[in-house]
Structures are given as structure tokens and as C-alpha cells.
Amino acid sequence: MPLRARVADLRQTNLAARRLFIGRALVAALVVLLAFLGVTARMAYLQVLNHEHFSLLSDQNRVRLVPLPPTRGQIFDRKGVLLAGNLTSFHLDITPEQVGGHAAMDALLEDLRGLIELSDGEIARFKRLVRRSSRSIGVPLRFNLTEDEMARVAVNQFRLPGVDVRNDLTRVYPQGQHLAHVVGYVGRIDEAELARLDPADYSGSSHIGKIGVERSYEELLRGKVGWQQVETNAQGRVIRVLESTPPVAGRNIYLSIDSHVQRVAEQVLIDAGFLGAIVAIDPRNGEVIAMASNPGYDPNPFVNGIDAKSFKALNTSPDRPLFNRALRGMYPPGSTVKPFYGLAGVELKERERYSATFCPGYFQLPGQEHKFRDWRRGGHGRVDLDRAITESCDVYYYQLALDLGIERMHDFMSQFGFGRLTGIDLRGEKSGLMPSPAWKRRTYNQAWFPGDTISAGIGQGYVLTTPLQLANATAALAMGGKHFQPRVVHALEDQATRTTTVLQPQPLPPIPVVERRNWDAVVAFMTHVVHTERGTAFRAMGRGAQYRIAAKTGTAQVFTLGQNEKYDASRLKDELLDHALFIAFAPAEAPRIAIAVIAENGGHGGSVAAPLAKQVMDAYLEAYP
């Protein structure tokens, strides 16, 4: 084929091929166009039709609500001594996500062991927590780092991925045992509490008041949780704060109790070596001046969970240190009820103020052999109300009880709060017991016997009171029938505004007075207990008293003697010895303190309990002249 023809042929072939290509390229371009239109349609579907839906999802992705726990209110004594505070403590956190796998974590823990003290228990607990929590959240490894340890961690931080030292506030009780029974403590929220409370209130906080003021003023101490709307990244790390409602710090609390007076009340019990309680109340407003229960305990270990061994030791100790005797201990009041019964006798017209009963040293119910003995075996002879209180004659009250009858005794004593809750601002108070026939039938399904009335007449038998009740009843007696709900909290302080609100006294319905002179007489006779030589407390506190005290001693039997047995202290085991009791108020003419003392198994109230009360009253009246 000649060259020209070959070229022409080639050209022809090429033209045909090119035409073919252009056709195919046009189809391809069309496909490209359709494909891109399809993608555009998909984009429009996502970005226009479903824009709102995805915007919402996007916000949900990035925005989280983070609770801001409020600072718990502090607790002070009346004068501002810190009883419960918040301490910044440092703990070591590890964020597993930033560490890597198991091998890396083990290596890191080994590394940390060289820097800070770590027990096997802590590591085991940490590993348990790691398994249960999100990998992006810091898990605490060690609490309460020392400054040395913090420094060592900080220096090595660069080679410790995922390790953070974080701070938080830990509740501390700088006074330890002092006032522990009143202040109480906070602890980790438990399952039962979790079910009861609103989780929103406790977002971000792990502790709750368990007992004492910490418990009863929980709502005020806690404050109000704040919230932060934060933007977080996919790892949950906070990038920035969008919106924030600050937390409201809890109210600071000022107790009515003066730490100094309280310390005296605690110390006298410790020094005397008795288990027991002392409660002192300001009769003018019901404010508690001192509330001691011996022994006490250190509340600090309870805050972050006391270890099982220590708790068992505290809980099973025969001295029962966790038991607030002032609030929950129920004791037979013994002779301390005598002024009240004496007042009942004259107010209810069963006795004249100066009418006398003959005391031969024992009392017999008509037609019965059983002898109810007087504490003085030879008897007191002719006894009027004055001697009955001053010398604490039992027979006078045996006869009086019989004449009053248990119903009237019950009703009269109830007015003073016997057998009733005082309504103090602490949880767990016991009501004591002022028995009545109805009560006995209900409880034991037994009839009330006259002998029960006789025992009740000297504060024995079924009668039980708490030290708090006894003190508050004494306060009512001191105030001529006016009385108040006792309170341990004096004032609340708003941490933001620094304004203090003093709580108003909570009056109880006053006890009706039939004849003012009856009350005055009982008070006068109670001063005789202290200030006359025949008085049962004269030797213990009457000599050299700086002010006039109205008081009554009590010695309560813990067990019942056989009919002809003689009480012999030296032969009895300690825990069967009589309880020593004492009630008093002072100054007698214008009372500022009413007090009840119980020394368990202390023996005689006049010689044992009275001096303890005296020291507390001295301390208080000196501090608040």
C-alpha cells in the first residue's frame, strides 16, 4: 500500500476510534454528573432535611452537664472553735485510657511504688475499680498524699502518663473525740441512703451526714449543688465551659455548746473514771450548754470508711463508745424524780407543803408482808416535803405515790417530758419511759400492781429517763413551768453573705401552775439539798459554794436486792453497782444552767455525781457571768 493510502487508512481508523472514545467519554461525563448529583442529593438530605436532628445529636455529643459539688458548711462551737472543717487533700488518680494495656498499667504501678508508699490492698482496690469504671475517667489510687509524695510524683510526671494529682475537700474533725457525740460525722453515701435521697442533690459529692449535727442539719450543711454545662471531646475531657450555675456553699453552724465548758464536762467523767453522761441546758431558752457522753470516739476514721477491724473493736467494746448516752442512754432516775413528785403532791392537793409522813425505815402496803425499804435503815421519823427532798426520804414518796396513783403520776410527770421525746435537734433520741397501767397492759399484757406504783414513786421499777430528759425536766422546774425544746445549734451562718441567723427558742406548752408558792417551796427545798448540813449533797458541794444551787441527788438500783439482803458495794460486780445521779440548776434564784449527771455504776449520787456537776456549773457560770 502506498504511504498516502496507509496514512489515509490510519487516519480513518483513528478517526473512528476517536469518535468512539468521544462517545464513551460523553457517557462517562454524564455518569460523573449523575454520581455527583446523587452525592449532592445525599448531602442535602443530611444537611437540609435532617439538619435539626443532626444538630441535636452534635450538641448531645459535645455538651455535658457536670455537677459542681458545694462546699459543706463548717461546724463551730458557740465561740467559733472549729469542730468540723474541710481540708484540701490530695489524691493520686490514674486515667487507664492514657496508660494503655495491662502490661503498661502494671509497669506504671511498679514505677509508682518506687515513688510513693502503696500497699497491696490499695493496688488490689484500684484494679477492682478500674475494671468497673470508664477508661476515660481517673480512678483514685492513693488518698491523702503527703507533700513529699506529691513532690516526687510531680518531678516524675513527664514519664507517668495518665497519672494526676487531684485535690478535693475531706471532712476533718480537728477536735477528735471532743464533742464527737454531738457533732457526729459524715461518711460515704450507702445504698439505703441512695434509695432515699434525691441523687441530683448529691451529684458530685460522695459523703453525707451520718449521725449527730452532721446528720440532723444535713440539708443546711450540704448547700446546693451547682452545674456546669461543658463542652467535652470524644474522650470526655472538658474543653471549655459553656454555662455555669455556681454551687451554693452549705450553712456554717454555730453550736450553743461552748467547747470549754464541754471539755470540762467530758474531762470530769474521764477523770472520775465513770461511763456516763452529763447534759447541761440553759433553762431560759433550751440551748444545750454541754452534752458529754463518756467514752467518746474519734470520728475522723469514719469519714473515708473505717476499716472493719477498728469498727468491730469500737462496736463490740463493753464500754460502747459509739453509744451517745446523753441522748440514748435510758436509766432509772432514782431519787432525782423526788422534787417532781413532791411538787405533784402539793399541786394536786394530796399533801400540804408542811404536812408530815412518819418514816419508820420501811413501808408496807396494807395487808401485805412485803417491806419497801428506805435507804436509811433506821428511818427518818417525821418527814415533811422539805426533809423528803433534802434527805431524800423514800417512805414519804412510797406513801405519796400510793395516794397519787400511777395515772396522775404519769400525767403530771409527762408534762415535764418524762417518757416523751424532748424534740432536740439531734436524731436518734430515746423517749425514756413513764409507765402507766395502759402501757403495762400493752407491753406485757399484765395488770398494774400497787407495788409497781410504789417503785415508780422513787424513780425505780419501770421508770426510765435519758440524761437529756432529766436535764430538760430540771430546766422546766427551774423556770417555774416554762420549758423549751432543747437545741444544740445556736446560729446559722450564710457563707456567701456572712450573715448569721440566731435560731429562736422553741417553747413547749408551759406546765400549768396551780400555786406559785408550791414551786418556790420545792426549789427552796432543793437548795437545802446542797446548802444545809442535812442535805445529801452538802458534803460534796455545799461548802464554799459561790452561788446557790438547787439540786437533787439520786442513786439508782441496777438490780433488785432480795428482801432481807443488805446492799454491799464491795461484794458486787462493777456493772451491778448503783448508778449515781444528780440534777441541779443554778443560780437558784435566777437559773442560767440546769444539769443532769449520770455516772454509771458510780454508787452514791450525792458523793459521786454531785461534784462532777459542780465543776461543770462552775466552769459555765464563770465563763458566762
Partner 1 sequence: MSTTPYHDARPLLDSAAPRLGLLARVHLDGPLILGLLAIAGAGQVVLYSATRQDLESVIRQGSRLGLGFAVMIALAQVPTQYLRRATPWIYLIGLLLLMAVLAFGDISMGAQRWLDLGFVRFQPSEIMKLGVPLMMAWHFADKPLPPRLGHLLVGALVAGVPFVLIAKQPDLGTALVILSAGLFALFLGGIAWRIIIGLGAIAAVAAPLFWEYGMREYQRQRVRTLFDPEADPLGAGYHIIQSKIAIGSGGIYGKGWLNGTQSHLEFLPESHTDFILGTLAEEFGLIGVCILLTLYFFVITRALWLASRAPDTFGRITGGTLALVFFFYAFVNTGMVSGILPVVGVPLPLVSYGGTSLVTIMAGFGILMGLHSHRPRT
Q: Which residues pair with 597 in a beta bridge?
A: 278, 582
Contact between 444 and partner 1 per CB under 8 A: no
Strands (E), 324-461: 357-359, 362-364, 371-373, 381-383
Residue 240: strand, helix, or coil: strand
DSSP assigned state of 514: S
Contact between 107 and partner 1 per CB under 8 A: no
Q: Which residues contact 20 (CB under 8 A, 6 or more apart)?
A: none
Among candidates 613, 624, 622, 599, which has minimal Cα distance to 273?
599
Alpha-carbon distance of 551 to 336, in angstroms, equals 9
Element housing 194 (H / E): helix 191-196
Shortest gap between Cβ of 95 and partner 1 (angstroms)?
16
Span near partner 1 by CB under 8 A; candidates 38-46, 148-156, 250-258, 260-268: 38-46
Q: With respect to partner 1, which residue has the nearer C-beta, 25 or 438?
A: 25
Contact between 12 and partner 1 per CB under 8 A: yes
Q: With respect to partner 1, which residue has the nearer C-beta, 233 or 501?
A: 233
Contact between 51 and partner 1 per CB under 8 A: yes
Determine contact, residues 164/237, Cβ cutoff 8 Å.
no
- 392 included as an active-site residue: no
Burial of 621 (0-12, 13-18, 19+ CB in 10 A): middle
- Using CB under 8 A, count the residues that bind partner 1: 46
Span near partner 1 by CB under 8 A; candidates 20-28, 364-372, 482-490, 557-565: 20-28
Number of helices (H) and strands (E) in the chain: give both, helices first.
23, 23
Go through 79-108 and write b for each residue having 16 or more CB atoms within 10 A of its CB, e for each that does not.
eebebbbbeeebbbebbbbbbeeeeebeeb
Contact between 245 and partner 1 per CB under 8 A: no
Q: Which of 205, 256, 293, 335 is catalytic?
A: 335
Go through 342-358 and write b for each residue having 16 or more CB atoms within 10 A of its CB, e for each that does not.
bbbbbbbebbebeebbe
Q: With respect to partner 1, which residue has the nearer C-beta, 33 or 514?
A: 33
Q: With respect to partner 1, which residue has the nearer C-beta, 21 or 547?
A: 21
Shortest gap between Cβ of 130 and partner 1 (angstroms)?
19
List the one residue from 2, 4, 9, 14 that touches partner 1 (CB under 8 A).
Answer: 14
Alpha-carbon distance of 383 to 393, in angstroms, equals 7
Q: Of 193-232, which residues contact partner 1 (CB under 8 A)?
A: 231-232
Shortest gap between Cβ of 65 and partner 1 (angstroms)?
16
Alpha-carbon distance of 578 to 176, in angstroms, equals 31
Q: With respect to partner 1, which residue has the nearer C-beta, 38 or 246?
A: 38
Q: With respect to partner 1, which residue has the nearer C-beta, 39 or 576?
A: 39
Binding mask 56-95 for partner 1 (x = CB under 8 A): -xx--xx---------------------------------
Q: Which residues are catalytic?
A: 335
Q: Which residues bind partner 1 (CB under 8 A)?
A: 7, 11-22, 24-25, 27-29, 32-33, 35-36, 38-40, 42-44, 46-48, 50-51, 53-55, 57-58, 61-62, 231-235, 239
